[in-house]
Structure 1
Amino acid sequence: MNKLVPKAITFDIFGTVIDWEGEIQEFFKNLMAKYGITGVDPKTVQQRWEEIQFDYIQEYKPYRKVLYDTMAMTCEEFGFKFTEEDCTAFANSMSTWKAFPDSVEAIKEIRKLTKFVALTNTDNDIIDACLKNAGIEVDDIVTAEMAGCYKPHTDGFDLSRKRLGLTVDEMMHAGFGFKYDVVPGNKLGYRTIWVNRQGIIRPVDDKEDILCGDLKTLAYILKGMAAVDAENE
């Protein structure tokens, strides 16, 4: 009988561990202030950028290029003034984005129970710098650069299993992005965890196995699961 706590959990990073929505909103807020742009709020711009980005990453390109190009595409759509330097600054900003307040301590607790593996839609150097800046240690990292594709494509999931030497039944996958993480995880047969930090309505009919609002809560849930596993030994 498989234990409730898996041998490893692959985690989305940006949006789940790192506050990508908040950091992107802050970038657009500063850009708009720089050029005196009014009439639209940064959250609306960020949400539209995410839609543009999701469509753009269906074909693999290095993520710095994704950031550069989608920044320009978003500004053009909204009619914002911008420069190539603004796009470069956006592309370079990702490695400095901050973690959610609960992430560092929660990850330490989770790693006492199972392996914490980053499965992230970015470049190798970006995730290395971002985790180092945030003071976060993980057990392994699989990037879009390694896999040659972005989630929701599943090659990264497959690569993580191969690196760990585990099966789907021995793992779980966690993420904030329902269409990036829960949908492909379910398709592959993972038990999935939706870290719904923004409290959004489930966008499709797929259903996660565990729902929580942050990693601190997830750590508590996993501790409870570990206690049940211990009783059943």
Structure 2
Amino acid sequence: MASIPTITFDFYGTLVQWHEGVEAAFREILAHHGQPTADPAPLIHAFHAEGRRLHDTPPWKPYRGVLQESLRLAMSEGGLAMDAADVDGLIARLRHLPAHEDVPEALAALRARGFRLAAISNTDDALIAGSLPALGLPLDAVITAQQARAYKPDPRLFQHAHKALGIGPDEVIHVAANQPLDMAVCKAMGIRAFWVNRRAESVEPEWLPFTEVRDVAEAAELILA
């Protein structure tokens, strides 16, 4: 595997703490609406489901709009009326997400061995920029849905990334924490893949083959072995 010069990563949830940031944002939103002890899980589920629906429904929509409409629907289902402070609070949380603890050292080890490191993410350029410093080193490329005008699992986002990197699907390893969005594309395009199972989820056999790892550090160890 170490002969493959490029590694691409999903960003949110894989490299940085997406789920933790979203949960914190929704707890703040509930507190803002007088429900500080309410369980945010139903709102978060609705938020993610609506985001996926909007991603998958043509025409392509800017990511900020997807976030806003997903939040509006989630809050409506919870009997709440969204206001500007809710949107601003969510964006503020997602603009500066910390890296998972294992990530900076793992990326540094891969960079030291000569790998090019890139992100492929369902986001926009401005939002992802605020969390990049948390990685501890600059990535060689950051490819977003905004650039490709396509969201995972649309393969056009990966095709755009590979074209920008000057590689083919057989010349890259992809590391990601999402099976339906990332492993699905890897299977369809024949990309060698590592699934980062940070949340103790079950393997979905329809998206195999991939190598399951507990975190990015374990993926780096296997790649460098």
In the superposition, the TM-score normalised over structure 1's length comes to 0.88
Structure 2 letter corresponding to 1:126: L
CA–CA distance in structure 2, aligned partners of residues 106 and 43 of structure 1: 31
Structure 1 letter corresponding to 2:23: Q
Contact persistence 1:71–1:87 (CA under 8 A): yes
Contact persistence 1:16–1:175 (CA under 8 A): yes
1:118 aligns with 2:119: yes
Structure 2 letter corresponding to 1:144: A
Structure 2 letter corresponding to 1:65: G
Tell me how large the CA RMSD over aligned residues is. Answer: 1.9
Q: Which residue of 2 is the match for residue 91 of structure 1?
A: 91
CA–CA distance in structure 1, aligned partners of residues 197 and 42 of structure 2: 19
State the 1:133 CA deviation.
4.8
Contact persistence 2:121–2:143 (CA under 8 A): yes
State the 1:62 CA deviation.
1.5
Q: Give the match's secondary structure for 2:130.
A: helix
Gaps of 5+ in 2: none
Q: Which residue of 1 is the match for residue 10 of structure 2?
A: 12
Structure 1 letter corresponding to 2:5: K
Contact persistence 1:9–1:171 (CA under 8 A): yes
Q: Which residue of 2 is the match for residue 228 of structure 1?
A: none
Q: Which residue of 2 is the match for residue 76 of structure 1?
A: 76
CA–CA distance in structure 1, aligned partners of residues 188 and 22 of structure 2: 29
Identity of aligned residues (%): 25
Q: Give the match's secondary structure for 1:57.
A: helix
CA–CA distance in structure 2, aligned partners of residues 25 and 31 of structure 1: 10
Contact persistence 2:30–2:36 (CA under 8 A): yes
Q: Give the match's secondary structure for 2:167.
A: coil
CA–CA distance in structure 1, aligned partners of residues 69 and 93 of structure 2: 14
CA–CA distance in structure 2, aligned partners of residues 140 and 124 of structure 1: 11
CA–CA distance in structure 2, aligned partners of residues 178 and 4 of structure 1: 24
Structure 2 letter corresponding to 1:72: R
Structure 2 letter corresponding to 1:80: L
Contact persistence 1:37–1:80 (CA under 8 A): no
Q: What are the residue-to-residue correspondences of 1:31-180 with 2, within 5 Å?
A: 31-37=29-35, 40-58=38-56, 59=58, 60-113=60-113, 114-180=115-181
Gaps of 5+ in 1: 225-233
CA–CA distance in structure 2, aligned partners of residues 203 and 133 of structure 1: 30
- CA pair 21-5 structure 1, distance change in 2 beyond 3 A: farther
Structure 2 letter corresponding to 1:57: H
CA–CA distance in structure 1, aligned partners of residues 97 and 111 of structure 2: 22
Cα offsets for 1:24-68 (capped at 9, x unmatched): 001111111222327852234323321221111123211111111
Q: Give the match's secondary structure for 1:183.
A: helix
Q: Which residue of 1 is the match for residue 194 of structure 2?
A: 193
Structure 2 letter corresponding to 1:82: M
In the superposition, the TM-score normalised over structure 2's length comes to 0.91
Structure 1 letter corresponding to 2:8: T
